[in-house]
């Protein structure tokens, strides 16, 4: 697809807000993996556990294939890792990213305790900070691994500073 910049991070970290801001400034199209998956059709909105990660990622790729046009630039916000049906952090299969073929990778990072409070306010549910921390660390490591694998830029977005990402766009 090569006209997609993939922006990852755990639930509640602020990916959507940052992608919306960037899209407004650059004319890029902001897509969310949840919208493409039509998450509300396969799970409750507040459910962050994924029963079958491989199946949801196949659905994501099919959705992207139907949406992506070669003459546009896209920001896709999603995840490098998810909580599986047992509530444990799990990497999304590399094949998904092989098919997305991103031109750059961004990872949004924040203090896990702040993320947990945002999620509680948003979802009305208390999340285990230890699990969220493990998930965020796994996302950071996997994002770096994938950017090295594809020899593409890797940008860590902290404190809502996405200047480096804007330079790539």
- 48 found inside a domain: no
User: How many domains does one find in the chain?
Assistant: 1
pTM given for the model? 0.88
DSSP letter for each residue of 124-156:
S----HHHHHHHHHHHHHHHHHHHHHHT--EEE
- 62 found inside a domain: no
- 88 found inside a domain: yes
CA distance 22 to 44: 28
- 47 found inside a domain: no
Give the CA count within 13 Å in the CB-facing half-sphere of 116.
14
pLDDT 10s digit of each residue in the chain, 169 long?
679 999 999 999 999 999 999 999 999 999 999 888 764 444 445 555 555 666 778 888 888 888 899 999 999 999 999 888 788 899 999 999 999 999 999 999 999 999 999 999 988 888 899 999 999 999 999 999 999 999 999 999 999 999 998 888 8
The domain spanning residue 16 has which CATH number?
Answer: 3.40.50.300
- 55 found inside a domain: no
pLDDT at 52: 62
Range of the domain at 27: 4-31+73-167
- 41 found inside a domain: no
């Amino acid at each position: 697809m090569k006209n997609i910049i993939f922006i990852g991070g755990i639930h509640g970290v602020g990916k959507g807000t940052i992608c919306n801001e960037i899209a407004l400034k650059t004319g890029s199209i902001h897509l969310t993996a949840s919208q493409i998956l039509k998450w509300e059709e396969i799970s409750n909105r507040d459910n962050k556990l994924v029963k079958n990660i491989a199946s949801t990622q196949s659905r994501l790729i099919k959705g992207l294939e139907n949406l992506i046009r070669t003459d546009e630039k896209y920001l896709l916000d999603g995840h490098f890792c998810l909580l599986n049906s047992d509530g444990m952090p799990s990497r999304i299969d590399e094949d998904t990213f092989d098919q997305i073929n991103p031109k750059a990778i961004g990872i949004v990072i924040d203090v896990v305790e702040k993320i947990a409070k945002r999620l509680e306010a948003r979802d009305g549910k208390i999340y285990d900070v230890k699990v969220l921390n493990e998930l965020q660390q796994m996302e950071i490591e996997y994002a770096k691994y994938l950017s090295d694998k594809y020899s593409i830029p890797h940008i860590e977005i902290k404190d809502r500073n996405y200047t480096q990402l804007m330079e790539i766009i």
